[in-house]
Each structure stands twice: as C-alpha cells, then as structure tokens.
Amino acid sequence: MTGVPAMGLVLGRLLVSAAQTGWLWVGFRFARFLVRPVIGEDQVAMDSKGVTWRQWRGPGSEVHHLPYSDVAAFPEPVGSVTALLHTGKVVELASVGELEHEALWKRLCGLSELGVTPKVLTACVPEGREAIALPEGGVVLRREWDGGIERAWALGGVVLLLLVSAAVVMWRQGIDGATVEGPLFAVALVGFVGWVGLKACPSFQSRREWEIRPGVLEKVRYRIGRPIRVNHGVKSLEVRQDETGELGTPEWVYSSLFLNTPKGPVRLERGSASAQYIQHLGQWLAHRLKVPLNVRAIQDELPKVKSSRRCRTG
C-alpha cells in the first residue's frame, strides 16, 4: 500500500487486531456457555469416605478423587457444586445440570457430615487464599496465585505483535522514504515492548500478602524493586457491618475487618455482602495473631447525603 504512511498502517492494524481479539474472546466464552450444557456431563460418585467425580468436556477428561478428610465444608451451590478444602482452595465438582445441584449438595453434606461452613474456622484457610509458613516463625497469607501463567502468555502475544509492528515501521522506511516520525514511533513501540515484557514476567508482577506473627501483622507489596512493608502492632480485630444507602433506604450492606492498633483502627479487608467470609477471615487471623476478635454491627457514622444534593467543590 504505497502512499499510505507506515504509522497509519501500523496503528490501524493494531486497532483491528485489538477489536478482533476482543470479539474472538467474547465469542469463545459465549460459545462455551452454549455448548457446555449440550455436550458436557458431570459424573459424581460418593460414599462415606470420599467423593469421586469426572467433568466430561471432551476426550481425555480425568477422574478425580477427594477424601472427606481434606474437605472443610461444602458451600451452598450457586451455579455449581463445590468443596472448600482446608487449604482454602475451592474445587468444582459439578457445574452442568443445575436442577440436580441441590440434591447432590445435600447428599454430600449428609455422607460427609460437613456443612456450609467449616466446623472449626481457625483450622481452615479462608476461601481463595493460601497460607505459607515462614522459616523464622509465623505465616504468610495471600490470595491464590498461579504464577501468572495465563497472563504471561497473553502479554507475550502483545509483545510479539508490537515487535512485528516496529519491524514493519522500519521496513516501510525503504518504501516511503526516510522520515523522522517512523523511527521515533518504532522506538516508542520497542519501549512499550520492554514495559509489557516486564509485566509478563511472573517475578515482576505486583502482589500483596500479609506476614502474620503474634501481635504483629505486616503488609507486604511486591513489585519491581524492593518490596514495600507496612508494620502494624495489633491489639484486637473487629468485624463491622456497615449499612449504606440513600433517602433512608439501604442500598447494600457490607462487612469490614479492622485492625485495632496503638495508632487507631486500620481497615484490613472489605467484603461487599459476604459477612460470613469476613468473619471467617477474622477468626483465622485472630487465632494466629493471638488477639481477641470483636463482632458488632454499626451504622455508617457518616451522615447520609441525598444524591440530588451532591455537589463538587474545587
């Protein structure tokens, strides 16, 4: 395409690629949603010792077995039947055939003698988290992290696309003639490639975790460079249930977990409507911090402001 600047060609191709990728991703997810109930099948067998299941989604599906001794609870089914392990990991047992989920869940609870929540909250890592023992004592609590493999593959594809774009810009210099904008644009693309490449490396991905020792909770944020650490001496933990609304009608209720420190309360975690999860997290932390946990319901101390009277000042 002679007569068309390289920057216009590359930017147009990048925009088209982004649009195509978005539509392909949405189409794949929608097709999977439609096809799974048609060709998919969940096979679940259980006895008084454990549960065996197979999620058939095509050739090569594996058979899994889970003893009840590894399970802390069977949460109430919402779209799928799951098992919460003592490690905090959630295992999906069945997701096809929602009409049978209630009966399957009740059968699992009956045979395993387990309920919706763990019998001993302090012995089960909160859902979606993982706990790692520290060599010098204490424990690290963080959200489940798979090393960012899927993210690394996605960002790797972006790096390849940007490198090809930079090469095309420089190659077009021989066709369109040497310009100042072309090499500068190629350099900008290469710089962006370096930034995306760093984000793709698991060791450079930002993550947060808590280091927990008796009476001390240290927030740690890992990113490029040295980790950022914030130390809190903890006297007690407190679960608050706050109600937020407009015109006197509650819009939502959310629970928060606070650290009571010598410098004042510090919000540690907020859950939109999952008071059960926040209380579980509070019980687990309080047991390892060796501090008391207070549970109370409070109204939002800030005055409620009608949306029609809100204004900005600046």
Amino acid at 86: H
User: Each residue of 39-89: pLDDT tens digit?
Assistant: 778 888 999 899 999 888 767 778 899 999 999 999 988 888 999 999 999
Mark the ranges of the chain whose per-residue pLDDT is less than 70.
1-6, 37, 58, 146-148, 174-178, 202-206, 242-252, 271-273, 296-314
pTM equals 0.68
Distance CA 118, CA 15 (A): 49
Distance CA 297, CA 273 (A): 13
- So what's the pLDDT on residue 68? 93
Let me know: does 74 contact 114? Beta carbons within 8 Å: yes
> Which two structure tokens, joined as six digits, stand for 83?
């098992």
83 vs 94, 117, 133, 135, 153, CA distance in Å?
10, 10, 24, 30, 29
- So what's the pLDDT on residue 57? 73
- So what's the pLDDT on residue 296? 66
57: left (phi over 0), alpha (psi -120 to 50) or beta: alpha
Distance CA 200, CA 205 (A): 7
- So what's the pLDDT on residue 162? 82
> Which two structure tokens, joined as six digits, stand for 313?
């000042």
Place of tokens 């905090």: 88
- So what's the pLDDT on residue 131? 92
CA nearest 256: which of 231, 233, 236, 273?
A: 273
- So what's the pLDDT on residue 250? 54
- So what's the pLDDT on residue 303? 36
